[in-house]
Structure 1
Amino acid sequence: MAASSYDFVVIGGGTAGLVVAHRLSEDPSQRVLVLEAGSDCTEDPRVKTPAIFKSLFGTEADWDFRTEPQPNLGGRSVNINQGKALGGSSAINAHIFVPPTKGLIDAWGSLGNEGWNWDVLREYFSKVYTPPLVDDAFKKSLGIGEWTEQSNPAKGPIKTSFSGHLHHPIRRAWAEVFETCSSSMANDPFLDSSSAGCFSVLASIDPENKERSYSVSAYYNPIKDRQNLQVLTNAVVEKILFDSGQPPKATGVQYIHDNETKTVVATKEVILAAGALQSPKLLELSGIGDAKLLERHGIEVIQNLPQVGENLHDHLVCYISFEAFDNVETLDVFLREPEAMERAKYDTSRSGMLSSVAFYTYAYLPLVQSLSGKDHEILKELLRLNRPPVGTDPSQERARIYHEVAENTILHSREPTGAYLTALVQLTPPVEPSSDSPADPVPGNFITFGVMLSQPLSRGSVHIVSDQVSSPPVIDPNYLSNPLDFEVFARHMQYAETLASSPAFSKLLKQPLRRRDPASDSRNLDQAKKYVQTSAVSIWHVGGTCAMLPREKGGVVDAQLRVYGTQNLRVVDASAVPLISTANLQATVYAFAERAADLIKDTHGLR
């Protein structure tokens, strides 16, 4: 096996991996290698063209994971799409670029992670992206004309835009709905994320060429000719190598490339950035994890760290599609008429509906402001009944501190527990097999209301099933296993019905409201729970499986992102995020990786 040597070896050329590789290779004296299991799909039109991102799902660019059957989702197995390409999930995601709330990031610090809070991380968000310049004529339709802070200093490589038609009437309708209940955001949420409310959503779509802006185009391509940076695609890492010292030191990586098994030496650090489902898998294959599990698969135990692969949590989303008036522009035409893709002329004009994914609007909303006094008491009682017992086991301590964070959020009048979005297209979630619900697109134009459970309390796991890297891990998110999640989610679904029924949307939706699927009627709480059970799906925001927490609280990495009980090994991706973001993870993972790069540089005194 041929060996080579680098200062840093980065496992995973995805969202986080390319950020860290970019920053570490800024110092020309440092040699950096990135090992990516997927291919370089930079020139693939499915990657570049915003509206057709879903055509990548289930292809060679997608790990195409499936969960174990989920008892609380009617026994369904759920798809979790994760990018298997240079750029990782940033190459196949839905472009949505939103910040977390201040309260959530501050909670990271309160969990025992010194130095992690909104004041610290805010500068890293600014380092990630560049906001679009917006003509004054469009500010009112976008709902940003009244923002107090108009100057956003962010100057990062990810190019963002308010994609699609800036005057589309859904933007004004969304703003009107929330103006009536004083829930419009007073400022750019990236500048002032301390409050809930509605906003026009940014997309990671370059405003000039209308193409996907992601970790490859933004962080890698501009510096790909650096002599001290090498990126290998189609390189499958088998395990991390350690010396025999105490504590064991990561010395390199064993991987397969061009059908050969090879090793590479890391003289400074091995940096794990394989994602929330693959990073714990690689730790376990390398001998870091629950000793009983490792021994069962014949893997030498390097460090007994039972929390590896635990604490898996994810955002569930549920959609209700309502029929819109015929003159409301949506993407449904592409579902009905495949030839419409050719007429769209995206390749020549870079305009029209193909230049966006038709997610124009978002809102972060608390639950308590829409509840009666009686319903509020029901939630408080559920919180009391499901409070984890005090114990000395790290998993018990982790569950307890997470419950405290969730309780403070759920009962707070300004902290969001749900994220709401609209899509200008009908979406086809799973349906009850024995029902008359349509499983395929139906005729008509549709506006879809989506609700995301922002702070799930349910926790699951991801673990290896063999000692072979080719075997996919067993993924069990344990969705809705905490009764609080079910209750909060269903009540948010009810509020989505309130939004759709508002006077502002009567200008866009046919009256009385016409549902794409009659089973989606969520006005009644029991109906809402039933619909969540049959039709909620993952929105692919998995995280927490190598959580940054004190070890006694169930952590895998410390506040410097170093793996407990080892030397020269860090985790820098969504698996280390202790609490996943308020909504879409993309922006948070970029900022997390930017801070990780600075932590690594500080350790080694780099520029």
Structure 2
Amino acid sequence: MAQSYDYIIIGAGSAGCVLANRLSEDPETRVLVLEFGGSDKSIFIQMPTALSIPMNGTKHNWRYYTLPEPGLDGRRVHCPRGKVLGGSSSINGMVYMRGHARDFDEWEELGAKGWGYANCLPYFQRAESWKGGGDEWRGDTGPLATNAGNEMENPLYRAFVASGRDAGYVTTEDPNGHLQEGFGPMHMTVKDGRRWSTANAYLKPAMSRPNLTVVTHAMTRRVILEGKRAVGVEYERGGQRHVAHATREVLISSGPIGTPHLLQRSGIGPAQVLRQAGVDVQHDLPGVGENLQDHSEVYIQYACREPITLNGKMGLWSKFLIGAEWILFKRGLSTTNHFESGGFIRSDASLEWPDIQFHFLPAAMRYDGKEPLKEHGFMVLTGPNKPKSRGHVRLRSTDPYEQPDILFNYLDREEDREGFRRCLRLTREIIAQPAFDRYRGEEMAPGKDVQTDDEIDAWVRETMESTYHPCGTCRMGEDGMAVVDSELKVHGIDALRVIDSSVFPSEPNANLNAPTIMLAERASDMVRQRPLLPPSNAAVGSAPGVGQSQRSREPLRKI
């Protein structure tokens, strides 16, 4: 027999867990959550320092790969997505960065009415519990615990911040507060030494409610339509097909890859794409799966002259001791993601807000933990944060287990190629400052022989990797390529919303987990038809001399 609920949420990820909690607060509302993945009860998920294991495994990760990327000499790029309770918040790097205020004003300019910074800030605050306490910009009573890790205990973190200051940039005490721009601490979603995913923060506290049903290992095959209204879903579990009806709405929170894939399987998307895959067209919506964008980065690595880096902790005995300390006391190096300092700068003073982000790591290795330097080293991960290149997600068939075609078109635009050139040259200039004289050894990657534009371009094509921030495939707006309106309702279909990072019109200038959670918090009020929180009038800081420093006196222009 078909089951009936008020709301069906597809995906228990960063957004879906938030929705599950907020919608089920009303005891009269029946909520079903369908998640293809399973339990997050793994030491490798819960221990922050072990982040590379779930991110690169197969049990908790969809492990998508792109088509051969033309701009990367045909390389296929790994695109991890969470396949577990908590979704990508259970396998990501736990970096908590909101983005610049102007990122959200840009959303509004692109057609996402009401999603400017003043309207978003109260929901960032409602979501979080910042260890430093609440103020005009930060929240201290929300479910999502955020902190600064081990407070830059390793001296290399502070050297990186000081080197940014030496290079002429500002410093910021809180990049999620008044002033994002500059060099300073980076924050993370960790609580009491554990990864604080949305499963831990939102879903688990709500799972004892009798009106919330969570079904794992459930593959949603399609959204069921009656005419132009979503009335339920068909899903598969344990080899059996099931149908669940939604008396109010179906809410898709399957992420920037899974959401367009599901919509297309349901007959909602570009008609030609659907027909080629053998899907009957229920609703021709050309923007579904288009506008795919992502942050990408390169690793700039240096040898370290002092034995103080994480490269000295790679042996089995050191790892055992670090793990044992976590199991027994939830403290030490196991409780951090190791990205404890970073920076946001404008690559050119004529820009209105930063377009380059730095993650600093007191180790030299790959993001997946492989190929660490055998000697002590440190590295800067950096890339242009406002990419212009766009790609797509397109289904291949009606089979939900067959991965869709994913193409980011990395480096398709000259602006993005020039962005990487600037990232490398500016990073070299920053690391060359006096604050690093004590620590700086030889540049290991890309190496001193990589200098010209052509040499840099070739190195980037060979080594560039995703930062794992895809978004935009079901973007908000009112034009012909928009998929959802400003209330996240799918254009032309009643009782169907998309609530995840696929609706972002453009990439925020930061990691995407924090804005995804904010989006779901605000969307939950829309779904419940509750009054939205009043806009904030908190001031937005900017670096002194914007438009008249950082190597340029050109008039301000938009990124």
Q: TM-score when scaled to structure 1? A: 0.84
Work out which of the residue numbers 477, 494, 510 in structure 1 matches 2:408: 477
Asked if 1:558 corresponds to 2:485, the answer is yes
Residue aligning to 1:593: 520
**SS state of the match for residue 403, structure 2?**
coil
* CA distance in structure 2 between the aligned counterparts of 1:66 and 1:506, rounded to whole angstroms: 40
> 1:170-190: CA deviations, max 9, x gaps?
232123223335533455332
**Contact conserved, 2:157 with 2:340, CA < 8 A, in 1?**
yes
Residue aligning to 2:543: none
Residue aligning to 1:10: 9
Change (3 A) 1:490 1:202: same
> Which deviates more, 173-182 or 416-425?
173-182
Say which structure is richer in helix: 1
* CA distance in structure 1 between the aligned counterparts of 2:450 and 2:411, rounded to whole angstroms: 18
Residue aligning to 2:281: 301
The letter of the residue matching 1:579 is S
Change (3 A) 1:185 1:518: closer
The letter of the residue matching 1:17 is G
**Contact conserved, 2:302 with 2:379, CA < 8 A, in 1?**
yes
The letter of the residue matching 1:505 is F
> Which deviates more, 340-349 or 418-427?
340-349
Deviation at 1:368, TM superposition (A): 1.1
Deviation at 1:507, TM superposition (A): 2.1
Work out which of the residue numbers 527, 537, 542 in structure 1 matches 2:465: 537
**Contact conserved, 1:32 with 1:230, CA < 8 A, in 2?**
yes
Residue aligning to 2:307: 327
Residue aligning to 2:166: 180
Residue aligning to 1:547: 475
1:484-499 map, 5 Å = 484-499=415-430
Asked if 1:289 corresponds to 2:269, the answer is yes
Residue aligning to 2:376: 445
1:203-352 map, 5 Å = 203-206=188-191, 209-244=192-227, 248-328=228-308, 330-335=309-314, 337-344=315-322, 345-352=325-332
Change (3 A) 1:186 1:358: closer
Please give the root-mean-square deviation of Cα atoms over the aligned residues, in Å.
2.1
**Contact conserved, 2:10 with 2:252, CA < 8 A, in 1?**
yes
* CA distance in structure 2 between the aligned counterparts of 1:151 and 1:249, rounded to whole angstroms: 39
Residue aligning to 2:108: 109
* CA distance in structure 2 between the aligned counterparts of 1:71 and 1:429, rounded to whole angstroms: 23
* CA distance in structure 2 between the aligned counterparts of 1:106 and 1:185, rounded to whole angstroms: 24
Change (3 A) 1:547 1:503: same
**SS state of the match for residue 61, structure 1?**
coil
The letter of the residue matching 2:399 is Q
**Contact conserved, 1:520 with 1:528, CA < 8 A, in 2?**
no
Change (3 A) 1:107 1:256: same
* CA distance in structure 1 between the aligned counterparts of 2:385 and 2:213, rounded to whole angstroms: 38
Work out which of the residue numbers 33, 42, 45 in structure 2 matches 1:44: 42
Structure 2 gaps, min length 5: 533-559
* CA distance in structure 2 between the aligned counterparts of 1:102 and 1:89, rounded to whole angstroms: 24
Deviation at 1:236, TM superposition (A): 0.5
Deviation at 1:429, TM superposition (A): 7.4
User: In the comparison of the two structures, how many residue pairs are matched?
Assistant: 528
**Contact conserved, 1:494 with 1:528, CA < 8 A, in 2?**
no
Deviation at 1:343, TM superposition (A): 1.9
Q: TM-score when scaled to structure 2? A: 0.91
Deviation at 1:519, TM superposition (A): 4.6
The letter of the residue matching 1:170 is L
Structure 1 gaps, min length 5: 135-148, 370-410, 431-438
> 1:537-586: CA deviations, max 9, x gaps?
0011000000011133x200010100011000000001111112212101
**Contact conserved, 1:250 with 1:270, CA < 8 A, in 2?**
yes
* CA distance in structure 1 between the aligned counterparts of 2:305 and 2:202, rounded to whole angstroms: 42
> Which deviates more, 360-369 or 313-322?
360-369
* CA distance in structure 1 between the aligned counterparts of 2:449 and 2:80, rounded to whole angstroms: 28
Work out which of the residue numbers 391, 413, 416 in structure 2 matches 1:460: 391
The letter of the residue matching 1:423 is L
* CA distance in structure 2 between the aligned counterparts of 1:518 and 1:457, rounded to whole angstroms: 24
> 1:314-350: CA deviations, max 9, x gaps?
001110111113332x322343x12321122321132
* CA distance in structure 2 between the aligned counterparts of 1:458 and 1:487, rounded to whole angstroms: 12
* CA distance in structure 2 between the aligned counterparts of 1:540 and 1:296, rounded to whole angstroms: 29
Work out which of the residue numbers 354, 361, 364 in structure 2 matches 1:416: 354
**SS state of the match for residue 249, structure 2?**
strand
Change (3 A) 1:277 1:349: same
Deviation at 1:49, TM superposition (A): 0.7
Change (3 A) 1:521 1:231: farther
Change (3 A) 1:158 1:521: farther
Change (3 A) 1:76 1:429: farther
**SS state of the match for residue 220, structure 1?**
helix
Change (3 A) 1:441 1:182: closer
> 1:190-238: CA deviations, max 9, x gaps?
2325x521120011111xx201001111001112100100111101000
Deviation at 1:116, TM superposition (A): 0.9
Change (3 A) 1:128 1:522: farther
Change (3 A) 1:604 1:3: farther
Residue aligning to 1:88: 87
**SS state of the match for residue 7, structure 1?**
strand
Percentage of matched positions with identical amino acids: 30
**Contact conserved, 2:254 with 2:500, CA < 8 A, in 1?**
yes
